[in-house]
Structure 1
Amino acid sequence: MSESRFEPPSQTDVDADVAAALAEDIGSGDVTADLLPDAPESAYLLCKEDCVVAGRPWFDAVHRTLDPGVRIDWRRSEGDRIAKGTVIATLQGHARALVSAERSALNFLQTLSGTATTTALYVDAVRGTGARILDTRKTVPGLRLAQKYAVRVGGGDNHRIGLYDAVMLKENHIRVAGSVAAAIDAARSKHPNLPLIVEVETLDQLREALAAGCTRILVDDFDAATRREAVRIAKSAPFDGRIPLEVSGGVDMTTLRAIAEDGVDCISIGGLTKHVHAIDFSMKLGPAPR
C-alpha cells in the first residue's frame, strides 16, 4: 500500500507536529547524545507486537529534521499488518542524531499505529454489513490531523475534522430553534455549502429530519428495537435510504456487530482516538539481525 492511498496531511502539518515534539524533548540540546562520537552509525526498527503500522511520515520527518542525510529503508508499507518480532526499517545516519530522534519518532509511530490497529479491529468486526466505522473529535490535543490520518490507515473514515468543516445539530440547537426542521433551515441558510449532521432523540424527530433533508442523521441512545425501526423508516418510501444513519454512544466490541447488522450506515467510536494503546516499537543501534 502507498501512503498516498491514505491522503496524509500536508508536509507543513507533519513538520509542525515534529517541531513541537522535538522542542519539548530536546529543548536546548540533548546532553546525553553529546557523549557519543558523531560518527556514522546504523540502526533498525523492531515491531514488538502485532499491529497495523501508521506514522511513517512523522517518523521520517523527525529523523530528517536532525540529520537531513539520514537514509531510512522501510521494509513494510504504511497500512501493512505487521507481526510481532518484525524488523520494519533500517537506518543509516549519524549516531547523535539517531539517538536524539529516537523517542520523538517512536512516540509518533507507536501512537498512530495504535490508532490504526484499533480502527482495523473495528473495521474487521463489521465487515460484510455495509457499515462504515467513523472517528470523533476525541483526539489527543495537538495530534488531531495525525490521528484522523491513522484512522484512515486502519480502514476507517473521518467524521468532521473540527467545529469548522461541518454543522452538527444536537439537542440544545434544536431546542433553541424550536424544532428539528427549524434548526435545519437555519443551518442551511447560514452554512449552505457545509455538510449537515442532525442528532435525533425520537422517531418523530427522525421523520422530521428525513423530510427536511440533511447529510446524515445520528440516532443516539436508541435501543435495539427503536434503532431497527429507524433503519426501516429511513430506507422505506419516500426516503429510500437517501440519508445515511449514524450510531454513536454505547459502542464497543461486544455491541458493535449487532448494531451494524441492524442496518445502520455509520458507527462513530470515540475510543479509536481516545483510548490509545500505543504499539511497542524499539529502535536499536547496529545492524539488523538476520
Structure 2
Amino acid sequence: MTSSAAPQPVHASPSAVEPGLDAGWIARTVAVALDEDLGTAPGRDVTTQATIPASATGTADLVAREAGTVAGLVVVAETLAQSAARLGLPVPDVTFHAQDGDAVGPGTLLARLSGPTQVLLVAERTMLNLASRASGVATATAAFARELAGTGAQVLDTRKTTPGLRALDKYAVRAGGGTNKRMGLYDVAMVKDNHVVAAGSLRAAVEAVRATFPDVLVQVEADTTAQAMEALDAGADFLLLDNMPTPVLAATVAAVRERQGRDGVPEHVELEATGNLTLARAREVAGTGVDHLSVGALTHSAPILDLALDLHPAALR
C-alpha cells in the first residue's frame, strides 16, 4: 500500500518524554513479542521469507491512520535491530518525523524505514502492537489532561495495566501529559479496607507500615468523610477518596483542608479522587479541590490508536 503521508520535520530522537523507557526493558519486551510472532529465536516468517528475496530492499512509512497522541516510537529501532539479527540481515535505517507525545492527525508520517524488505515486514506487527497500544493510552490521557487544564488537578494512572507492559503503559501516560502514581506495591504504601481488616484497625495498619518501611509515603483509602478524618488522625500522608458523589467529595476536601497544619496533620495533605471518573465528570471533580484524579481506564480500557506501516510500491518490484 502506498503512503500519502507528507514529509514532516525530522527528529533526532523518537522521544522527549522523561523519564524515558529503560533500554533493557525494551529489549526484553521486543524479544518476547518477536518470539510470539516468529517462534523460538531465530524463528521464521514463512510468508515473507518465501515470497521476498533476502536481497530485496525497500522503504516503508509508519503513519497514523487517525487523530491522537503518539507514543511508543521508542520501540521501533530495537524491533528493527532484533528482527534483522534473527534474519542475519542489515538493520534498516529509520528517520523519525514525530516524537512520542506529539499530537498527530490521519496520515501523519511518524517514521520512514529503509532497508531489507524482509526485516521491515517481520518487524511490522511487533512495532505496531506496542506503539498502537502506547498511543492509545497516551491519547486517552491527553484527553483528560486537556479537560483538567487550569484546574490545578492532575490525572494519574493506576496499577491496572497489562501484565508485562506496565513500563510501557506508564510511559505512555507521561507522553499524554499525565502523571504516574506508584509503579507497584514497593514504592508507596496503600492502606485499603482489606489491610485494615487484617491489621485490626486503620491506625494499626498505618503504624505497621511506618514501623516496617519508614521511607515510604503512606496513602489511605477512604469511602466517607469520617474515614478520611480517621486516616488523618492515624498519620496518613495522602488520602484516596474512593467513589464519593461530588457533594460528599467536596465536603470531605473542605474538612481535610480545615485540619491541615493542626494537631499533627501536615500543612498540605495530598488528595486523590478515584472511582467512576469519566471525562465528562473530570472538571466537576477537579472543582472540589482535589490534587489528583486517578483513572484506571487510561490503561485498562483505552482503545489503540490506529497506526500502519505502508511499504512503498517500488519495494514490491
Structure 2 length-normalised TM: 0.86
- Would the aligned equivalents of 2:237 and 2:266 in 1 still touch at CA under 8 Å? no
- Would the aligned equivalents of 1:60 and 1:105 in 2 still touch at CA under 8 Å? no
- Following the alignment from structure 2 to structure 1, what is the Cα–Cα distance between the partners of residues 105 and 231? 46
- Would the aligned equivalents of 2:65 and 2:308 in 1 still touch at CA under 8 Å? yes
* Partner secondary structure for residue 192 of structure 1: coil
- Following the alignment from structure 2 to structure 1, what is the Cα–Cα distance between the partners of residues 184 and 271? 20
Deviations 1:136-157 (A, max 9, x none): 1111121111101100110111
Deviations 1:106-149 (A, max 9, x none): 11110000000000001111111111111111111211111011
Q: For 1:267, which of 286, 293, 298 is the aligned residue? A: 293
Partner of 1:181: 203
Structure 2's unaligned 5+ residue stretches are: 1-10, 85-89
Deviations 1:215-242 (A, max 9, x none): 3101112222221111112222424751
Is 1:113 aligned with 2:135? yes
Q: CA deviation at 1:180?
A: 2.2
Alignment of 1:10-159 (within 5 A): 10-27=22-39, 28-34=43-49, 35-38=51-54, 39-67=56-84, 69-159=91-181
Q: CA deviation at 1:5?
A: 3.4
- Would the aligned equivalents of 1:234 and 1:240 in 2 still touch at CA under 8 Å? no
Q: For 1:172, which of 189, 194, 199 is the aligned residue? A: 194
* Partner secondary structure for residue 175 of structure 1: helix
- Would the aligned equivalents of 2:57 and 2:117 in 1 still touch at CA under 8 Å? yes
Partner of 2:310: 284
- Following the alignment from structure 1 to structure 2, what is the Cα–Cα distance between the partners of residues 263 and 17? 40
After TM superposition, what 4+ stretches of structure 1 lie above 4 angstroms from structure 2?
none
* Partner secondary structure for residue 118 of structure 2: helix
Structure 1 length-normalised TM: 0.94
Structure 1's unaligned 5+ residue stretches are: none
Equivalent position amino acid for 2:47 in 1: T
- Following the alignment from structure 2 to structure 1, what is the Cα–Cα distance between the partners of residues 245 and 71? 35
Residues 46 and 182 (structure 1), Cα distance of their counterparts in 2 relative to 1, 3 Å cut: same
* Partner secondary structure for residue 279 of structure 2: coil
- Would the aligned equivalents of 2:64 and 2:307 in 1 still touch at CA under 8 Å? yes
- Following the alignment from structure 2 to structure 1, what is the Cα–Cα distance between the partners of residues 24 and 118? 25
**Aligned-CA RMSD value:** 1.8
* Partner secondary structure for residue 208 of structure 1: helix
Equivalent position amino acid for 1:49 in 2: E
- Following the alignment from structure 1 to structure 2, what is the Cα–Cα distance between the partners of residues 250 and 171? 18
- Following the alignment from structure 2 to structure 1, what is the Cα–Cα distance between the partners of residues 205 and 266? 23
- Following the alignment from structure 1 to structure 2, what is the Cα–Cα distance between the partners of residues 282 and 222? 41
Q: CA deviation at 1:166?
A: 1.8
The count of aligned residue pairs is: 288
- Following the alignment from structure 2 to structure 1, what is the Cα–Cα distance between the partners of residues 237 and 52? 58
Residues 44 and 154 (structure 1), Cα distance of their counterparts in 2 relative to 1, 3 Å cut: same
- Following the alignment from structure 1 to structure 2, what is the Cα–Cα distance between the partners of residues 281 and 172? 42
- Following the alignment from structure 1 to structure 2, what is the Cα–Cα distance between the partners of residues 6 and 46? 24
Equivalent position amino acid for 1:247 in 2: A
- Following the alignment from structure 2 to structure 1, what is the Cα–Cα distance between the partners of residues 140 and 245? 25
- Identity across matched positions, percent: 37
